Copies of this chain bind each other. A is one copy, B any other.
Amino acid sequence: VKNDNPTLRDVAALAGVSHQTVSRVINGEAHVSPETRSRVDTAIQTLHFRPNALARHLARGRSNLLAAIAPNLVDYTFASSQEGAEFEARKQGYYLVTSSAPTINDFEALIEQLIGHRRVDGVIVFNPYLDSRHTLLPGDIPMVFCGGREREDIPYCVYLDNFSGSMTAARHLIDLGHTRIGEVTGPLSEDCAQERHRGFEQALFMAKIEIEPGLTSEGDWSATSGHKIFQKWAEDRQIPTAVLVQNDRMAVGVLRAARDLGLKIPEQLSVIGFDDMPLAAYFDPPLTSMRQDTFGIGCEAARLLVRVIEAGNLPPQHIRFPAELVLRASTAPIERR
């Protein structure tokens, strides 16, 4: 008894044609007569035949699998980019293998497994860090890099324009009349934090506002770190009238620390975050923030990767995404005293 899944040859036998003709039919190739085609189609239906992807992949030398490697899956920005990448990949007939690689060692092991063994046709690398882990990739494997700035050294990348985004954020505070402006950065070992910092500097420089030493501090993206930094500023009796915080989680920490100190927001302190995470509107007060289209970034990355894979020789592409100011209640014009 044949209990297994039907193969091309079973279909061919039933339809009374060669297995090659069946192959032509399932691949929608020309040069098959309508009658033959329909006979084959019928056979496919009756046998519930579905081509075995593994065999197809081996024969074609391609797996139709993409990998998306990010430090983790739970940060909203990564999750949403991966969702975008998966969405687009599937549209194009590919599937997405998720791969969390917090450390560079994990990354290396993953690359070895996914690419060394030819499991995937290409990779999307989300690398917020400054390390150049992408250089661990064999040069000939299709790769799209998602980072925090333009990378001249990488042929294909999709990135958020953190520099301009941060300038916009800083300028918003400046436009509100603030001149004592603090900054809570992410780890400066990350591109994204550096870029946002550069944008901040640039905006203040252009407005001829001095950066107050002691009012730029480095956090770790966690709410707790934002909280601690603001407390420290208060202890040092250095309280700005506005703060640009490089992500919303830390901004929430700042909000809380400020309120614990009895500061009224936004009357006595304006706070602007970054990322516009889903609950930004639900903090107290609702958080002004910089929105980024993380889902779109993921989509573009996947679309580009598929083009790289299928085109063979695509000219370099650098796709930039802007960040957009979302006004809420945590920022306001400075009060005259």
Contacts and interface: CB of A to CB of B under 8 A. Distances in A.
Interface stretch (A55-63, A124-132, A190-198, A210-218): A55-63
Given A74-B79, A86-B99, A284-B259, A50 B117 contact: yes
A98 B80 contact: no
Given A80-B73, A87-B100, A118 B53 contact: yes
Nearest to A226: B282
Contacts of A283: 282-284
A57 B59 CA distance: 12
Contact of A118 (B54, B58, B80): B54
Tallying the copies of this chain within the complex gives 2
A58 B60 CA distance: 13
A127 to B, nearest CB: 18
Contacts of A76: 74
Contacts of A73: 73, 79-80, 82-83, 86
A: interface residue count bin: 35 or more
A221 to B, nearest CB: 11
A252 B252 CA distance: 14
B54 A58 contact: yes
Contacts of A63: 53-54
Contacts of A223: 279, 281-282
B86 A52 contact: no
A284 B284 contact: yes
A292 B296 CA distance: 31
Contacts of A98: 82, 86, 96-98
Interface string A95-111: 11111100000000000
Contacts of A278: 74, 249
Interface in A1-23: 5
Contacts of A117: 50-53
Nearest to A96: B98
A50 B95 contact: no
A176 to B, nearest CB: 24
Nearest to A61: B54
A119 interface: yes
A111 B274 CA distance: 38
A247 to B, nearest CB: 12
Q: Which 7 A-B pairs have the closest CB atoms?
A: A53-B117, A73-B83, A50-B116, A79-B79, A54-B58, A53-B119, A284-B284
Given A54-B54, A73-B86, A95-B97, 6 more contacts: A57-B58, A65-B97, A74-B79, A86-B98, A96-B98, A253-B282
21 contacts: A51-B117, A52-B58, A53-B63, A54-B57, A54-B118, A54-B119, A73-B73, A73-B79, A74-B79, A74-B80, A86-B99, A86-B100, A87-B100, A90-B99, A95-B113, A96-B98, A223-B281, A249-B279, A256-B282, A279-B279, A284-B284
Interface of A: 5, 50-55, 57-58, 61, 63, 65, 72-74, 76, 79-80, 82-83, 86-87, 90, 95-100, 112-114, 116-119, 223, 249, 252-253, 256, 259, 278-279, 281-284
